[in-house]
Amino acid sequence: MQPLIPYLQDDQKAADYLRQVRWPSGVTCPRCGSDAVEPRERCDNGLQRFNCVPCAARLGQQFAMFTDWTSSIFEESKLRPLEWLLVMGLWQLKLNATEIAAAADIQERTAQRCINLLDGGIYETYHLDPTRQLEHQVEADECYQSAGSKGLAREVERCERAPRPRGIQLRGRATAETGRPPLLGLVQRRDKADQDAPAAQVYFEVLENVRTATIKPIIAAKVKGGAQFFTDEYNIYHFTKVDYDHRTVNHGAGEYARRDPDGTCVHCNTMEGIWSGLRNFLDHFKGISQRFLHLRVGRYEFLHNHMHLHWYQTFETALRYIFSTTGDYLRQMTHHHRRMPLTLCYR
Ligand SMILES: [Zn+2]
């Protein structure tokens, strides 16, 4: 019988698979980029070692070794290649650390670290990708996510009070400071006339507050000029009529969808549906920390935008992004022991 997942058999096969994804057109040295590399003996965990000939010559050494994982986010990991493949598959199923730990038979702390690495890698390479833009028909909306100071002891101390109970409804427009960071959601509607069109493409940003000054640079960067832009009547979006064909639906007056004389359907229902999906996903993390909220949201964004693909295509796409990360974002985030500025990329 043909095994369903041939590379999920041992660490060597897992390492071979991961290497193909990392270097589809042949292994190159992570230090100098040369392809004049020679395979050496494997490591105990199945990873292949290589010697870079030019690097060895330059350094005046006999060898200049690297492995399949040198300069990748997996480099310092104690998990074996096979375990990583398993964790990746579970990560893609939108599971939390507890569930991944149980399913992959690893420690919960390890699973937590794994999902931070994977979510962080996707955040850095996919979410922050400046070339990704939405066009044609784009809906925008905000929602509020409860996020406390879980996993952020210092922040709690600084506030000199007990951590805020999560899930409390606060009056008025919430901000990150009140424990309910707003999320901005932008979605390009799927082209229903095109059978092969990808899924509706979303872009989420966790915000400090919902003000025009906060959201304007994000919309300008992420939505192509000239697009049709659908929102509710909330006045923070008024500025968009300069660059977009801005149409509003009046939720206050009980209007949820209408067809304009030119045939355009004016509504935010695509975004509404995506919010409920995102909420279900985030609820799964039971009291999510503000510090990691944007990473979890980034995973949902990535998985949603690739859901028209086969699971293994999504798996490989995620891996390619993760292998292209420098890890700088995560290192900064962990070393600062605080939340990164959320709109970092627009400054
Ligand atoms: Zn080299």
* String of DSSP letters for 126-179: IIT-TT--B-SEEEEEEEE---B-TT-HHHHHHHTSPPPPTTPPPSSS--GGGT
Distance 56 CA to ligand 1 centre (A): 7
Cα angle at 91 between 45 and 86, to 5 degrees?
30
Question: How far apart, in whole angstroms, are the C-alpha atoms of residue 41 and residue 301?
Answer: 40
Give 80 Cα–ligand 1 centroid separation in angstroms: 25
Furthest C-alpha separation in the chain: 77
Question: How many other β-carbons are positioned within 10 Å of the β-carbon of residue 159?
Answer: 12
Centre of ligand 1 to C-alpha 54, Å, is 6
333 Cα: distance to centroid of ligand 1 (angstroms): 29
Q: Give residue 66's pLDDT.
A: 97
Q: How far is the CA of 183 from the centre of ligand 1 (A)?
A: 43
Distances (CA, A) of 325 to 34, 123, 297, 336: 19, 9, 18, 19
CA of 43 to the centre of ligand 1 (A): 19
pLDDT of 6 reads: 61
DSSP-assigned letter for residue 238: G
- Write out residues in the chain with pLDDT < 70, as ranges: 1-7, 146-174, 336-347
Query: If you measure from the C-alpha of residue 281 to the centroid of ligand 1, how many angstroms do you get, rounded to a whole number?
Result: 43
Q: Which residues contact 183 (CB under 8 A, 6 or more apart)?
A: 142, 143, 144, 145, 204, 205, 206, 207, 278, 297
Cα of 123 vs centre of ligand 1, distance in Å, is: 28
pLDDT at position 343:
39
Give me the helix-helix angle, 311-324 and 11-22, nearest 10°.
Answer: 70
Q: Shortest CA distance to 46 belongs to which of 26, 23, 72, 69?
A: 69
Cα of 29 from ligand 1 centre, angstroms = 5
> Tell me, what's the pLDDT at 154?
41
Cα 26 to ligand 1 centroid, rounded to whole Å: 14
Look-up: residue for tokens 């070692």? 49
The whole-number pLDDT of residue 63 equals 96
Please give the distance, rounded to the nearest whole angstrom, from the Cα atom of residue 18 to the centre of ligand 1: 20
pTM: 0.87
> Phi and psi dihedrals of 212, rounded to 5?
-55, -45
The CA distance from 72 to 323, in Å, is: 6
* pLDDT of amino acid 187: 98
CA 38 to ligand 1 centroid distance, Å: 11
Ligand 1 centroid – CA 30 distance (Å): 7
User: How many angstroms separate the alpha carbon of residue 15 from the centre of ligand 1?
Assistant: 20
Query: Cα of 84 to ligand 1 centre, how many Å?
Result: 26
